[in-house]
Amino acid sequence: MLDVRPLATFADFLVICTAGNERMVRAVVKEIDDQLVQEGAATPKIEGSPETGWVLLDFGDVVVHIFSPEQRDFYKLDKLWQKATPVVVLQ
């Protein structure tokens, strides 16, 4: 999770994660959506699809990017947002 507040106006935080294949992308999207909605978050706006290897969940202040390994390597969002402050890093 990256704190992008000093760098962006569209969100406060970005989550960038990788799922190993299309099925895993679909499962991660479903789990994030289910858990956050269960916690009372609004239903996110969803862009992309598991078939493309990139799904974006927009919760307003938090935007979640779920990538296949190939798409994450291609788009390099980590590099684009390298000046953002890491809040949570998981391997």
Whole-number pLDDT of residue 55: 98
- Can you read off the two tokens belonging to residue 24? 């895993």
Convert the pLDDT of each residue in 34-61 to its tens digit.
Answer: 898 899 888 899 999 999 999 999 999 9
Distance of CA 51 to the CA centre of its chain: 16
Pairing of strands 2-3, 85-86: antiparallel
Q: Identify the structural domains of the chain with CATH numbers, from first to last.
A: 2-86 (3.30.460.10)
Average pLDDT over every residue of 2-31: 96
d(CA 50, CA 59): 18
**Hey, is 74 helix, strand or coil?**
helix
DSSP string, 20-71: SSHHHHHHHHHHHHHHHHHTTPPPPEEEEEGGGTEEEEE-SSEEEEEE-HHH
